[in-house]
Amino acid sequence: MIIGFGKCETDEAIKILNKAFDNLEGCKTEKSAKKSLDDLQKEYANAEKEYKKMSREEAPERYSYFWYFYHEVYEGKYFVEFTFHHINRKHALSPDGWALLKTKWILSVCPTDGKRMFKEA
């Protein structure tokens, strides 16, 4: 664990991964899956851009955004690699309050095994 980061960032990553999985469930093609992931990514990227413009007092103390890589293994079996940036705007050990934690997660989806989430150590 890193001082100033922990359960909040893990919970946020899992929340986003579950949203991604829910959005991907209805997708029948790689193109529609990527469109679904793009829409989710834009939602978080747009929020991050707005938060960056805000003062330390106005912005949320913590927020996250991500980018992804989609890998289809075969029909219906794929995995998505997520790279998260978790921002802490009021980090106690930072002179200006800004701190960043980068994490990587894998969302694996298979018709026979269901969904699995893996966090890079």
3-state secondary structure labels for all residues of 99-117: EEEEEEEEEEEECCCEEEE
Tell whether 82 is covered by a domain: yes
The alpha carbon of 83 is separated from its chain's Cα centroid by a whole number of angstroms, namely 6
pLDDT at 103: 93
Tell whether 78 is covered by a domain: yes
d(CA 56, CA 22): 33
pLDDT at 1: 54
pLDDT tens, 45-92? 999 999 999 988 899 999 999 999 999 887 778 889 999 999 999 888
* Residue range of the domain that includes 90: 7-119
Collapsing DSSP to helix, strand or coil, 21 comes out as: helix
Tell whether 2 is covered by a domain: no
Tell whether 19 is covered by a domain: yes
The number of distinct structural domains making up the chain is 1
